[in-house]
Amino acid sequence: MATSAQITLPNGVTYEQPIGLFINNEFVPSSDGEMIETINPSTEEVITKVHVASVEDIDTAVNAARKAFDEVWKDYSIDEIAKLLQKLADLFERDRDLLSAIESADSGKPRSQNSVLDVDQCIENFRYYAGWADKRGGTICESSPTKLGYVIHEPHGVCGQIIPWNYPLCMASWKIGPAIATGNVIVMKLAENTPLSMLYVGKLVVEAGFPPGVINLVAGHGKIAGNAISCHPKVDKVAFTGSTAVGKTVMAVAAQTLKNVTLECGGKSPMVVFDDADLEQSVKWGYEGIMYNMGQSCSATSRILVQDTIYDKYIEELVKYTKSYSALGDVYDDNNNHGPLISKVQFDKVLGYIESGKEQGAKVALGGTAPFEKGYYVEPTIFTDVTDEMKIWKEEIFGPVVCISKFSTEKEALDRANDTTYGLGSAIFSKDIAKCLRVSRNLHAGSVWVNSSNDTSPRIPFGGFKMSGIGTELGQYGLDNYTIKKAVHINIGNNL
């Protein structure tokens, strides 16, 4: 059975796309022959079919990873590990255009500012974590004059990593970087809708020189392959990014074998705009914070609370900015910055939320429709006069839909911003530094953006409060989830 396909991308580039399961540095067919189609959401056409991992294939991948860990990787030189991550970054740099073009076809990301930036962020992540690889340390502690202890930060071993479709390359790099830098091996399940870019990366893993079995990448169904990873007794840790509902399932299943679990789940992040804010900046970030990646970001600032004194003006300016700035259309045309949603499922779901907003009495200030015959495009949509009981205010829409509501006092803004089961991101706009610091302190979210929205950096931790997740990714803190601390006690005295 073929494990590679020749693909011509919409920009005319033809290349060899791996379509097998990447296990032990080889692309292999699935054990039961099952394949799934992956679709270009701009055209609704099938790009190709890829093999999907069965429960048996996950077992094969986990055993390959375990063997690589026990026989090769656990004693690998830390200098070499750092070099491998640097080399992977070099190869991403070399293939930047192709990777971004693949991502645009498979996910519908506009190339101009989205898929290219995704690749660049991967390069930054790999280089950042390469810098940590040779700094794995421990601590020494003297417990008494005759007893000495030291602590080894040991890798867990086999890490199961389950990633979503909204940032296929970035989410993979957020997980590969710290796991590899700390000496773990990986079995990663790619999202059903977007397997292509990371399967291509399988080729780069081989070229970079990673030993077989250290990084395994498979396409697969969540309920089959994802579940098989979460419950496999030889998987030592699971890291998941996706919806809160599935995150709970992963955690429950992983509890059977008491795996270390980290979850990065959904959000309904607030942005609070005070009347002393720089209006132009708050409008620009108001747009960017939700419309980037067509609203398909877990930390998108999808609820904007605007102080009553500037409410009408803010809406007028946001509508004006959105009309002039957003450009829907062919994602390979650099003039466009707004592509389709990932799938028919998301398209229907988002249009359903728009209908519910209208039914529950919110006003559509802009957008609200699907403008094209072909492709899962939804216009940037601005709802105003949204109240706290409305579904569109409460639930994660994961589309280009922003809800705006009015507040009068700082206390009201904080209470309503925090009145959600989620706690991933939050933003505040004001020129008053004391107010910014006070509100930042009181927002219940893993990230607070002051006069900005949705910034991430490999150097700065990212993670959710409440039902947005468990554990931290990125930065030095991101390493912590990937090591287990072993204490060694040494008796340096002569007595019992």
Q: How many residues lie near ligand NAD (CB under 6 A)?
A: 25
Residue 298 falls in the annotated catalytic set: yes
**CB-based contact 477:456 (threshold 8 Å):** no
Closest approach of Cβ 78 to ligand NAD, in Å? 31
Helix/strand number for the chain, H first, E second: 15, 22
Residue 264 falls in the annotated catalytic set: yes
- Of the residues 170, 298, 403, 436, only one is catalytic, namely 298
Q: Of 398, 407, 422, 465, which lies in the binding site for ligand NAD, with binding defined by CB under 6 A?
A: 398
Residue 226 sits in the site that holds ligand NAD (CB under 6 A): yes
Nearest to 271 by CA among 455, 14, 29, 42: 455
Complex with Mn ion: residue 297 or 426, whichever CB lies closer: 297
Contacts of 402 (CB under 8 A, 6+ apart): 286, 290, 291, 295, 302, 303, 304, 380, 381, 382, 383
**CB-based contact 385:405 (threshold 8 Å):** yes
**CB-based contact 7:50 (threshold 8 Å):** no
Complex with ligand NAD: residue 66 or 268, whichever CB lies closer: 268
- Using left for φ > 0, alpha for ψ between -120 and 50, and beta otherwise, residue 360 falls in alpha
Q: Of 188, 191, 427, 428, which lies in the binding site for ligand NAD, with binding defined by CB under 6 A?
A: 191
Residue 223 sits in the site that holds ligand NAD (CB under 6 A): yes
Other beta carbons within 10 angstroms of residue 135's beta carbon come to 11
Q: Of 227, 420, 452, 472, which lies in the binding site for ligand NAD, with binding defined by CB under 6 A?
A: 227
Residue 266 sits in the site that holds ligand NAD (CB under 6 A): yes
Closest approach of Cβ 271 to ligand NAD, in Å? 18
3-state secondary structure of 199: helix
3-state secondary structure of 320: helix
Closest approach of Cβ 245 to Mn ion, in Å? 22
Closest approach of Cβ 298 to ligand NAD, in Å? 3
Complex with ligand NAD: residue 168 or 183, whichever CB lies closer: 168
Strand pairing class (35-40; 45-51): antiparallel
Binding mask 294-313 for ligand NAD (x = CB under 6 A): ----x---------------
Among ligand NAD, Mn ion, none, the one that 402 touches (CB under a kind-dependent 5 to 8 A) is: none
- Of the residues 192, 264, 317, 396, only one is catalytic, namely 264
d(CA 128, CA 353): 39
Residue 193 sits in the site that holds Mn ion (CB under 5 A): yes
Residue 462 sits in the site that holds ligand NAD (CB under 6 A): no
Residue 172 sits in the site that holds ligand NAD (CB under 6 A): no
Contacts of 263 (CB under 8 A, 6+ apart): 239, 240, 241, 247, 250, 251, 464, 469, 470, 471
- Please report, as ranges, the residues that interact with ligand NAD according to CB under 6 A: 162-166, 189, 191-192, 222-223, 226-227, 230, 241-243, 246, 249-250, 264-266, 298, 396, 398
Active site amino acids: 264, 298
- Please report, as ranges, the residues that interact with Mn ion according to CB under 5 A: 38-39, 106, 193
